[in-house]
Amino acid sequence: MEQFNSNARKTEKGITGLETAIILIAFVIVASVFAYVVLSAGLFSSQKAKEAVNSGLQSTMATVEIRGNIVAHMVGAEVQDISFCVGVPAAGSPVDFTPASANATDNRTQLVVVSYSDAQNYLPSVNWSIERLSWGNDDYLLDPNELFQMTIYMPSSGNISIGAYDSFSLEIKPPDGPVLTVERTIPSRISQYVNLH
């Protein structure tokens, strides 16, 4: 009987070792599944971060900048329109300046929106036009090697008139990229064309 008990003890040690091996294998499997989940989440978040960075770069590269002077055309003592040249930085992306008149056949609105504000008024959209000053191609995309003259027409309603000492703000909002803000004050001495420094 003692021999049977000693064999049983040895057999129990084998079973205990087998149970321990199964438990360890289960821990390894659970750990590998957990590691897979962590790696997948990390890859997903890094992909999302990459998309966010690329989106930020695209919007930064679509920047419009003023090149040269800003000139106000005065009729009497009031501003009728404001003109300035716009361009895109050398490493920038083209900006679509298709005017509303070119979109008349497909009922689209202007892609670039210009808003006006002063101390008493805010207009979310005012009329504007462009003229090509450098000819890269015949489309309305402002490419890095092109220059457009943009003319903003002041509203002709009775409430809004800009004259000497008046301050105003224009926001040029391209379809993509940051907003270009122009803030100026009309000087006291005015002529037909006033350079707004």
Structure-block tokens of residue 32? 């590998």
Tell me which DSSP letter residue 136 carries.
S
H or E element that contains 66: strand 65-75
State residue 117's pLDDT score.
Answer: 92
Q: How far apart are CA 64 and CA 144, in angstroms?
A: 10
State residue 107's pLDDT score.
Answer: 45
State residue 115's pLDDT score.
Answer: 93
Query: What one-letter code names the amino acid at 5?
Result: N
Q: Is the pLDDT of residue 86 over 60?
A: yes
- If pLDDT is split at 50, 70 and 90, which confidence band does 17 have? confident
Find out whether 167 and 184 touch, Cβ atoms under 8 Å.
Answer: yes
For 33-44, the pLDDT digits (tens) are 888 888 888 877
For 174-186, the pLDDT digits (tens) are 887 788 999 999 9
Q: Is the pLDDT of residue 104 over 50?
A: no
CB atoms under 10 Å from CB of 170, counted, come to: 20
For 25-34, the pLDDT digits (tens) are 888 888 888 8
How large is the average pLDDT for residues 62-84? 90
Q: Which of 174, 197, 146 is nearest to 59 (CA)?
A: 174
Tokens 């002709």 belong to 156
Structure-block tokens of residue 45? 């978040």
